Amino acid sequence: MTFKIATWNINSVRLRISMVEDFLNEHQVDVLCLQEIKCQNDLFPTAAFNELGYVHQAVHGQKGYHGVATVSKLPLADISSTDYCEMGDTRHVECVVEAGGQKLRLHNFYVPAGGDEADVDKNPKFAHKLKFLDEMKQLDADSGGIPSILVGDLNIAPLPTDVWSHKQLLKVVSHTPVETETLGDVMDAGGWEDLIRHHIPPEEILFTWWSYRSKDWNVANKGRRLDHIWSAPELKKSLVDINVVRESRGLEKPSDHVPVIASFEF
């Protein structure tokens, strides 16, 4: 079977639920992983997803900000979350899904943005981000014999081609050497593969986020690839497509992130 999973920092699921509905109707993904849902569990638009067939939901919300949710057409099992850095933030939810006889462990992440200054002594938010990443090194891409897929807004653009200007952004949070190197350490420690760059050559410029501050985001094209899809190495052979839905950024009152879809054949 074809299995499609999407990740999208929606920047308020209630504000943009109609946008999400249109996306799901068009792309018919099996699983959608949302970040920054910005609502508590009881305010999550459960009914809207139920009507579209996404009746299986793992929601880990928080009042006002943060929050992640995984909605699925397929049953979800072993739902849990980890409180990284023990700050009470809702930045992770995991579950197990079965597709075409293949069990998969799904991790949905919203990594802290890290504030404006890349200095752990002056900026507690940046220190928090690096500590969060350090704790992510404990994640194994093949935990308990079940291969994993990790998706989400990791708030780091690791490659020079993941940003509009490598030279100008080297000191800007999301592309500093300490962040990109630490993200690489997370991947190496857990045995993860970057599926987006496995399918789309690293030499190709690729963005998933464009700032609201840009008057004409499409013309300026000052983007970054902050949204990621990783997996256990064995799943690379089943990957058939990666689709960065860039046109979503041009919708009325959009998220500053666009969805990314990975398609597998199991």
* Mean per-residue pLDDT, 56-62: 97
Structural domain boundaries, residue 132: 2-265
What's the structural domain count of the chain?
1
Residue 47's pLDDT is 98
Residue 135's pLDDT is 98
Q: What is the CATH number of the domain that holds 255?
A: 3.60.10.10
Residue 214's pLDDT is 82
Residue 118's pLDDT is 96
The per-residue pLDDT for range 81-94, each reduced to its tens digit, is: 999 999 999 999 99
The per-residue pLDDT for range 28-38, each reduced to its tens digit, is: 999 999 999 99
Residue 215's pLDDT is 82
Count CB atoms within 10 A of the CB of residue 54.
21
Does the structure show a pLDDT above 90 at 77? yes
* Mean per-residue pLDDT, 128-150: 96
Please give the Cα distance from 143 to 192 (Å, whole number): 12
Name every residue whose Cβ is closer than 8 Å to that of residue 168 and which is 6 or more positions away in sequence: none
* Distances, alpha carbon 177 to alpha carbons 117, 170, 185, 211, in Å: 13, 7, 12, 21
Q: What is the mean pLDDT of the chain?
A: 97
Does the structure show a pLDDT above 90 at 65? no
Does the structure show a pLDDT above 90 at 40? yes
The per-residue pLDDT for range 158-190, each reduced to its tens digit, is: 999 999 999 999 999 999 999 999 999 999 999
Q: How confident is the model at residue 144 (pLDDT cuts 50, 70, 90)?
A: confident
Name every residue whose Cβ is closer than 8 Å to that of residue 263 and which is 6 or more positions away in sequence: 2, 3, 4, 239, 240, 241, 242, 243
